[in-house]
Amino acid sequence: MFYGIDLSSRLMLGTAQYPSPEILKQAIAASGAEVITVSLRREGAEGVAFREILGACGCRILPNTAGCNSAREAVTTAQMARELFGTNWIKLEVIGHADTLQPDPFALVEAAQILCSEGFEVFPYTTEDLIVGEKLIEAGCGALMPWGAPIGSAQGLRNPDALRSMRAHFPDIPLVVDAGIGAPSQAAQAMEMGFDAVLLNTAVAKALDPVGMARAFGLAVEAGFSGHRSGLMHKRDMAVASTPVFGMAELA
DSSP of 130-190? HHHHHHHHHHT-S-BEEBSSSTT-----S-HHHHHHHHHH-TTS-BEEES---SHHHHHHH
pTM of the predicted model, to two decimals?
0.89
- Say what the pLDDT of residue 247 is: 63
- b/e burial code for range 106-129 (CB count within 10 A of at least 16 → b): ebbbbbbbbbbeeebbbbbbbbbe
- Say what the pLDDT of residue 245 is: 64
Number of H helices, E strands in the chain: 10, 8
Of the CA atoms within 13 Å of residue 35, those in its CB half-sphere come to: 24
pLDDT tens, position by position, 174-223: 999 999 999 999 999 999 999 999 999 999 999 999 999 999 999 999 99
Q: What is the mean pLDDT of each run of 10 residues along the chain (252 residues)?
A: 92 93 93 92 60 83 94 96 93 92 95 98 97 97 96 94 97 96 97 97 96 97 95 85 68 63
- Distance, CA of 151 to chain centre: 11
- Say what the pLDDT of residue 50 is: 76
* Catalytic residue of the set 25, 91, 206, 235: 91
User: What does the alpha-carbon distance between residue 135 and residue 131 come to, in Å, rounded to a whole number?
Assistant: 6
- The contacts of residue 169 (CB under 8 Å, 6+ apart) are 130, 133
Q: Is 25 a known active-site residue?
A: no
Q: What is the C-alpha radius of gyration for the chain, rounded to an integer number of angstroms?
A: 20
User: What does the alpha-carbon distance between residue 186 and residue 129 come to, in Å, rounded to a whole number?
Assistant: 20
CB atoms within 10 A of CB 25: 17
- Say what the pLDDT of residue 114 is: 98
User: What does the alpha-carbon distance between residue 39 and residue 36 come to, in Å, rounded to a whole number?
Assistant: 10
CB atoms within 10 A of CB 67: 15
